[in-house]
Structure formats: structure tokens, C-alpha cells
Amino acid sequence: MSAEPRVSIHPDSSVLMAAIAARLITKLVDVQDRFGEATVVLTGGTVGIGTLKAVADSPAAPAVDWAKVNFWWGDERFVGSQDPDRNAFQAQEALLKHIDVDPARVHVPGSTDDFGSPEQAAEDYARRLSEAAAAEHAADASDDRPEEPGRLPRFDVVLLGVGPDAHVASLFPEQAGIREKQLTVVGVRNSPKPPPERISLTLPAINTAAEVWMVVAGEDKAGAVGLALAGANPVQVPASGPAGRSRTLWLIDENAASRVPEQLVRKAPAGS
């Protein structure tokens, strides 16, 4: 059962990104204390990449054992592997090259260097997710271990940005991806936002996460945020669909918060 969303509003985007970074570092440390490793699903965009840079710049960053963090992406642009538009390329520049990661734990989605279509890249990414889930299952010695591995590893935190059109990951309003119920990863064509070809986790995959953090800044996102938190249909407003199993957080700045239902608003403490 997913948790009701909580909204935390910060004064501006720079404070927001620093606060998300601090929260993420704390979360990863806590998860590693419990499981020995942690898994985060990254997002792109101004806030997503800015948050990763804030993590790299934080004096608390060494508290995380980065060699035992698994990195996945919620979506990726289907372009060349070194294209600056790639979320993974930007994450590498902002954070990954500055910390002691285990390359085997950095699961970069396929590119046009490797595959002829976004569907092929999506199938490969789904396969790798399934293999990670099987390995995790084999290593699990707990009493509540499921009889069979699932199709996805444990996602401790999924970070998601929101577009002005209310898209999340590369799940766009009214398109096939947001309607997908069975697959964990889809190929996307004719994206209304360039580049036109992408791959994306589906909503059912996103919603296996323990925690989903919606990270949003800017007045141009306020309408999408308001509709999502008002409970709009995810087919029309994809941002209304993500929900963590234990926690769903909307971490937003004041500009993005102008249409948030009053009963959901919680101002972040000063300095957080």
C-alpha cells in the first residue's frame, strides 16, 4: 500500500537542491546501516542534476559508502553514449566522477552506440533489472525472503522531476508509456520533448520503490504540481501516478507550490 504524499516547500531552487542532497545522503546512510548497500534511481533535469552536484559538494557526502550504492536511471535519452543530453552523462559530470563508485553498480541505460532502437535498449535494461533482482534474491538470507525473485531489485529511493506538461521520467500525457501495465521498461518514440526517442521505467516499476521523491522547481511547473496533488488521472497527468510503498515526498520550491492544495502544504524549516 502506497503512502499519502507529503509536500515540503523550500524558498528557492538552490535551497531546495541543497535540502534534497542532505536528505538523500542521510537516507543512503540509513539504508546502508540496515541492508549493507543502497539503491537509488536518478533523474535528470535542472533540479535532478543540480541535486547531484549538491551531493558531491556536501561535506557530509563521505558518510555514504559510495562503493555500495547501486545507481539506476528512471529514464534516458536514446542518443549516443557521450551525448551531453544523456542523463547518465550529466550525472557522471555532476556526481559520479567525484565519488568512489563501483562501476559494476552503475547501471547506465543503453544508447544508440549499442542498440538500433529504443525498444531494444528498453528490453536490455529490463533484462539487467531482472538479473539484479535475481542476484539480490539469491543474497537475501532474511526470514521474509520471497519464494521467487521479482522483476526489479529493491529501489530505496526513486527521484523524479516533473515537466510543465506533467510528464515524469519519459512518461508523457496520453502516450502509450503512461498506459503500460505489464512491462517494467518501455521504449518511447515521438516524445513531445526532444530528443524524440527515449527509454523509461513504467509507472508500475516506479511504484515498487520504498520511497518516491518528486523534485520540482519553477513557476512553469506549478500547474502540473497542483493537478497531480489534486489527484488527476495519471494518463492525462502522469505526475499524479508515482507513489512510494512507504513514502511519497514532493520536495518543491515556492514557485512550484502556488497551486498546491492548502491541506498538503508543509513549509520546510529554515535552513533545511
Q: What was the pLDDT predicted at 138?
A: 82
Q: What was the pLDDT predicted at 3?
A: 64
pTM of the full predicted structure? Answer: 0.93
Q: How many angstroms separate the CA atoms of 272 and 269, rounded?
A: 6
Q: What was the pLDDT predicted at 91?
A: 98
Determine the CATH number of domain 14-160+177-189. 3.40.50.1360
Tell me 268's DSSP state. Answer: P
What is the number of other CB atoms lying within 10 angstroms of the CB of residue 85? 13
Residue 207: beta bridge partners?
Answer: none
Q: What was the pLDDT predicted at 1?
A: 45
Pairing state of beta strands 198-201 and 75-77? antiparallel
Domain positions in the chain: 14-160+177-189
Q: What was the pLDDT predicted at 150?
A: 83
Peptide bond into 195 cis (omega under 30): yes
CA end-to-end span of the chain, whole Å?
Answer: 29
What grid cell was written down for 213? 521523491
**93-114 pLDDT per residue, tens:** 999 999 999 999 999 999 999 9
Q: How many angstroms separate the CA atoms of 133 and 129, rounded?
A: 6
Lowest-pLDDT choice from 73-77, 131-135, 141-145, 185-189 = 141-145
Amino acid, single-letter form, for residue 89: F
**226-250 pLDDT per residue, tens:** 999 999 999 999 999 999 999 999 9
Q: How many angstroms separate the CA atoms of 96 and 111, rounded?
A: 19
Q: What was the pLDDT predicted at 76?
A: 98
